[in-house]
Amino acid sequence: MYRKGARAERELIKIFSDAGFVAIRSAGSGISSESPDLLVFKKGKQYAFECKAWNKDYLSIEKIKFKMLVNWAEKTGITTLIGWKMPYDGWYFIYPQELSISEKYCSISKTKAKEIGRKIEELL
């Protein structure tokens, strides 16, 4: 699972780097860190990404991790998104507030993420 996620993160770094962004992969993200997986910057644009490479019908994030991500975004003011790499379909980007919140998890269906339809081209 770790290798798959790290590979997806490196893919996203390459896409943004090729588009002229400076990209930073956060050490220890996802373990016990509050910071997102990737930070990318280009004059006038800055994004933070929590990356997921899941082949499931739903993407779920533990509520505590979700709250840490939202808190980080509020403290930094950096546009923060969840990047969901779907096999054979590429990346979809979701703002944290677009997830449904339950008692333990925050989630979004693959169908809803596709309906939102936010692809990488919009961010470059």
pLDDT of residue 34: 77
pLDDT of residue 5: 82
Mean pLDDT, 10 residues at a time, over the chain (124 residues)?
A: 82 97 79 81 96 95 94 96 96 98 96 97 96
pLDDT of residue 29: 54
Short-list 44, 56, 74, 42, CA closest to 4: 56
Count of the separate structural domains present in the chain = 1
Residue among 17, 26, 29, 102 flagged as catalytic:
29
pLDDT of residue 26: 83
pTM of the model: 0.91
Report the Cα 30 to chain-centroid distance in Å: 11
pLDDT of residue 3: 78
pLDDT of residue 68: 93
**Does the annotation count 35 as an active-site position?**
no
Measured between alpha carbons, how far is 35 from 48 in angstroms, rounded to an integer?
9
66 contact partners, CB below 8 Å, separation of at least 6:
96, 99, 101, 105, 106
Structural domain of 25: 2-122
**Please, are residues 94 and 84 in contact by the beta-carbon 8 Å criterion?**
yes
Alpha-carbon torsion (37, 81, 76, 46), positive or negative? positive
CATH of the domain at 40: 3.40.1350.10
